[in-house]
Amino acid sequence: MKEPKSLQDLYKMELADLYDAEQQIIKALPKMIDGATSEELKDALNEHLDVTKEQASRLEQIFEQMGEKPKREKCKGMQGVITEGSDLLEEIKDDDLRDAAIISAAQRVEHYEMAGYGTARTYAQLLGEDQAAKLLQQTLDEEKEADQKLSDLAGELNAEAMNGEGGEQEEKPAASERTAGSKRRKSAA
């Protein structure tokens, strides 16, 4: 990697990093989809796979507008995020618990992307690359939307993962009830 000497250099590195990150995600998502049990979760991940491919071509468009070929710079951060997620999934046998872990891994991916796209969008604005700034904002909005969708799914699926502990029939009290019943804990509410 060459030492960046200007914000323009840093901007291009950021784009190359994001372009590599998107390619890694395109490769990793099918494995997460296979591992998921909930149809809703599978659908959400499948939809985001399509969106991710568009995001990658949006980055290609930005490179081309700068008169450059799309460049990839190994995104070690995304590699770590993805590896951590897939290592965890391989360990889990329970379907509901694995769905919860997939959501956790996927949200880490979205947040990492949001940080990168927010930065790149701001650089583009500062550098007067208005068209690129618009495209990057569009992707940033999609990543946020994906994250929100995963949060919504977590609300439902994490509860199923909790009920799954020690048998399907067992109903556990909600966290708030347990807290209220404990004398050693002060009420958080």
Contact residues for Zn ion (CB under 5 A)?
17, 75, 77
For residue 4, the partner it binds in Fe ion, Zn ion, none, with Cβ less than 5 to 8 A by kind, is none
For residue 75, the partner it binds in Zn ion, Fe ion, none, with Cβ less than 5 to 8 A by kind, is Zn ion
Q: How far is the CB of 78 from Zn ion (least distance, A)?
A: 6
For Fe ion, the nearest residue by Cβ is 55
Instruction: Compute and round to an integer the Cα radius of gyration of the chain.
Output: 20
Q: Of 38 and 55, which has the nearer Cβ to Fe ion?
A: 55
Q: Does 23 bind Fe ion (CB under 5 A)?
A: no
Q: How far is the CB of 4 from Fe ion (least distance, A)?
A: 23
Of 124, 143, 149, 157, which one interacts with Fe ion (CB under 5 A)?
143
Q: Does 147 bind Fe ion (CB under 5 A)?
A: no
Q: Using CB atoms within 10 A of its CB, is residue 16 exposed (0-12), middle (13-18) or buried (19+)?
A: buried
Q: Does 55 bind Fe ion (CB under 5 A)?
A: yes
Nearest to 102 by CA among 31, 14, 187: 31
Q: How far is the CB of 44 from Fe ion (least distance, A)?
A: 11
Q: Of 15 and 44, which has the nearer Cβ to Zn ion?
A: 15
Q: Of 26 and 66, which has the nearer Cβ to Fe ion?
A: 26
Q: Does 38 bind Fe ion (CB under 5 A)?
A: no
Q: What is the DSSP string of the chain?
A: -PPP-SHHHHHHHHHHHHHHHHHHHHHHHHHHHHH---HHHHHHHHHHHHHHHHHHHHHHHHHHHTT--------HHHHHHHHHHHHHHHH---HHHHHHHHHHHHHHHHHHHHHHHHHHHHHHHHTT-HHHHHHHHHHHHHHHHHHHHHHHHHHHHHHHHHHHTT-SSPPPPPHHHHHHH-SSSPP--
For residue 143, the partner it binds in Zn ion, Fe ion, none, with Cβ less than 5 to 8 A by kind, is Fe ion
Q: Of 129 and 143, which has the nearer Cβ to Fe ion?
A: 143
Q: Tell me which residues touch Fe ion (CB under 5 A).
A: 52, 55, 113, 143
